[in-house]
């Protein structure tokens, strides 16, 4: 749940990829269901072909078989009995009165009639063609595969558009709910919230339909989606409050840390004694003297040597002249 709330609050986009993924899954399921149901009908379709064929058409009219009236009978499963179905081949007449026909398919010499409870359609046979009697199982299988693929594509496209528009409508409702709670949500957040609520509702109802054969009407689904939106908005409020408290605590801890570090630095600067400074100064002076002393000693010794080398003046011997 935390990941879902985090996605709603801080995610990217408006949830289209998840709506597309849901529509894709349902489209694949629709295609698979179509293939399974239609595949079970291949043996029945082959029975129809075996009873109606061969048929040969020339210039838009059936020339073979002629003057024939057939009602198709099918055998279901392992039952040995056959049962009539409303598929009729009648080459004894050219046209039929639609008002007198029951629901089913009727083939005359020149027309094909498709009758159901809502409408009746008439198709004129055209051209020249021939349908021979053979095993049409490969053709039926290929036709079913393509039909299942197209069903899956159309289901995916239709559901994706429907889910997007539904999420767009519920995002407006989410904005009203958030405003009543004094929360400001941007468009992307509202779309993500509505998409998550819609996907959750659809998945739950599909599971109920598959497992328990429970169908839910549209109005009840809308109520469930709105209830999920209210729940998610409350979770967003709690997350916002918690994050604000955490940020304030982190700010206070950071301030206390800075103050403590400042105090430590100030104490370290003030705690340095003057004696240490004097010792450092004396150490520097002695070091300087030690480096300069040898030079002075050497110069003095050299001067003494030069004086010693110079010859001393000798005194003249003899008496001093007497004064007259």
Q: Which residue in this structure is represented by tokens 């941007």?
A: 186
- Same structural domain, 27 and 153: yes
Kindly indicate the confidence band of residue 323, based on its pLDDT and cuts at 50, 70 and 90. very low
Q: Is the peptide bond before 54 cis (omega within 30 degrees of 0)?
A: yes
Better-scored residue on pLDDT, 301 or 219: 219
| Most confidently predicted of 107-116, 180-189, 300-309 | 107-116
Burial 202-224 (b: 16+ CB within 10 A, else e): beebeeeeeeeeeeeeeeebeeb
Kindly indicate the confidence band of residue 320, based on its pLDDT and cuts at 50, 70 and 90. very low
pLDDT of residue 190 exceeding 70, the answer is yes
Write out the two tokens for 115: 């009758």
Chain mean pLDDT for the chain: 81
Domain end (from 197, 214, 235): 235
- Same structural domain, 98 and 156: no
Average pLDDT of the segment spanning 247-258: 62
Q: What is the pLDDT of residues 200-244, one digit of tens each?
A: 999 988 888 888 777 777 888 899 999 999 998 888 888 766 554
- Same structural domain, 215 and 163: yes
pLDDT for residue 307: 44
Containing 111, the helix (H) or strand (E) segment is: strand 111-115
Domain end (from 235, 268, 301): 235
- Alpha-helical regions (H) of 69-136: none
Residue 71 located in a structural domain: yes
pLDDT for residue 49: 93
Residue 115 located in a structural domain: yes
Residue 107 located in a structural domain: yes
Q: What is the pLDDT of residues 275-293, one digit of tens each?
A: 454 455 455 555 444 444 4
- Same structural domain, 148 and 210: yes
Write out the two tokens for 86: 């409303």
Burial class (CB in 10 A: 0-12, 13-18, 19+), 56: middle
- Same structural domain, 120 and 156: no
- Same structural domain, 122 and 166: no
Q: What is the pLDDT of residues 89-143, one digit of tens each?
A: 999 999 999 888 899 999 999 999 999 988 999 999 999 999 999 999 999 999 9
Residue 184 located in a structural domain: yes
Say if strands 83-90 and 104-107 run parallel, antiparallel, or are unpaired: parallel
Lowest mean pLDDT of 139-143, 162-166, 253-257, name the range. Answer: 253-257
- Same structural domain, 66 and 210: no
pLDDT for residue 214: 76
Residue 87 located in a structural domain: yes
Inter-residue contact 79 to 155 (CB < 8 Å): no
| DSSP secondary structure of 1-56 | -HHHHHHHHH--S-SHHHHHHHHHHHHHHHHHHHHHHHHHTHHHHHHHHHHH--EE
pLDDT for residue 76: 87
Name the β-bridge partners of 122: 113
- Same structural domain, 12 and 92: no
| DSSP secondary structure of 232-251 | HHHHHHHHHHHHHHHHHHHH
pLDDT for residue 88: 94
Residue 179 located in a structural domain: yes
Q: What is the pLDDT of residues 13-36, one digit of tens each?
A: 898 999 999 999 999 999 999 999
Containing 123, the helix (H) or strand (E) segment is: strand 120-124
- Same structural domain, 96 and 178: no
pLDDT of residue 160 exceeding 70, the answer is yes
Q: How many domains would you assign to the chain?
A: 2
Inter-residue contact 165 to 23 (CB < 8 Å): no
Average pLDDT of the segment spanning 182-195: 90
pLDDT for residue 282: 53
Q: List CB contacts of 67: < 8 A, sequence separation 6 or more.
A: 91, 92
How far apart (Å, rounded) are the C-alpha atoms in residues 232 and 11?
14
Q: Which residue in this structure is represented by tokens 């908005």?
A: 233
Residue 241 located in a structural domain: no
Domain end (from 183, 209, 235): 235
Q: What is the pLDDT of residues 34-54, one digit of tens each?
A: 999 999 999 999 999 999 999
pLDDT of residue 314 exceeding 50, the answer is no
- Same structural domain, 165 and 124: no
Inter-residue contact 62 to 34 (CB < 8 Å): no
Kindly indicate the confidence band of residue 294, based on its pLDDT and cuts at 50, 70 and 90. very low
Name the β-bridge partners of 130: 56
C-alpha R_g of the chain: 53
pLDDT for residue 215: 76
| DSSP secondary structure of 302-319 | HHHHHHHHSPPPPPPPSP
Residue 75 located in a structural domain: yes
Full residue range of the structural domain in which residue 180 is found: 2-33+144-235
- Same structural domain, 222 and 169: yes
pLDDT of residue 300 exceeding 70, the answer is no
How far apart (Å, rounded) are the C-alpha atoms in residues 222 and 230?
13
- Same structural domain, 27 and 104: no
Containing 130, the helix (H) or strand (E) segment is: strand 129-131
């Amino acid at each position: 749940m935390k990941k879902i709330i985090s996605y709603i609050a801080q995610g990217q986009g408006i949830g289209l990829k998840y709506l597309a993924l849901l529509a894709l899954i349902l489209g694949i399921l629709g295609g698979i269901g179509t293939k399974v149901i239609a595949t079970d009908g291949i043996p029945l379709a082959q029975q129809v072909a075996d009873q109606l064929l061969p048929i040969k058409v020339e210039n838009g009219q059936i020339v073979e078989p002629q003057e024939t009236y057939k009602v198709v009978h099918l055998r279901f499963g392992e039952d040995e009995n056959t049962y009539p179905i409303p598929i009729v081949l009648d080459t004894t007449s050219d046209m039929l009165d639609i008002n007198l026909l029951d629901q089913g398919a009727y083939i005359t010499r020149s027309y094909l009639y498709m009758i159901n409870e809502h409408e009746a359609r008439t198709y004129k046979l055209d051209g020249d063609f021939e349908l021979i009697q053979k095993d049409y199982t490969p053709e039926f299988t290929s036709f079913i595969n393509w039909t299942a693929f197209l069903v899956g594509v159309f289901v995916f496209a239709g559901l994706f558009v429907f889910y997007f528009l539904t999420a767009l409508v519920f995002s407006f409702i989410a904005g009203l709910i958030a405003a009543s709670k004094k929360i400001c949500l941007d468009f992307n957040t509202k779309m993500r919230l509505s998409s998550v609520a819609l996907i959750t509702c659809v998945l739950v109802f599909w599971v109920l339909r598959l497992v328990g054969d429970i169908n839910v009407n549209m109005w009840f689904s809308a109520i469930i989606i709105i209830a999920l939106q209210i729940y998610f908005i409350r979770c967003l409020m709690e997350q916002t409050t918690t994050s604000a408290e955490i940020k304030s605590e982190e700010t206070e801890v950071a301030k206390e840390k800075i103050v403590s570090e400042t105090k430590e630095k100030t104490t370290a600067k003030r705690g340095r004694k003057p004696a240490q400074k004097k010792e450092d100064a004396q150490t520097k002076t002695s070091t300087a003297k030690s480096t300069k002393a040898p030079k002075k000693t050497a110069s003095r010794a050299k001067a003494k040597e030069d004086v010693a080398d110079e010859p001393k003046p000798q005194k003249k011997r003899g008496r001093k002249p007497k004064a007259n």
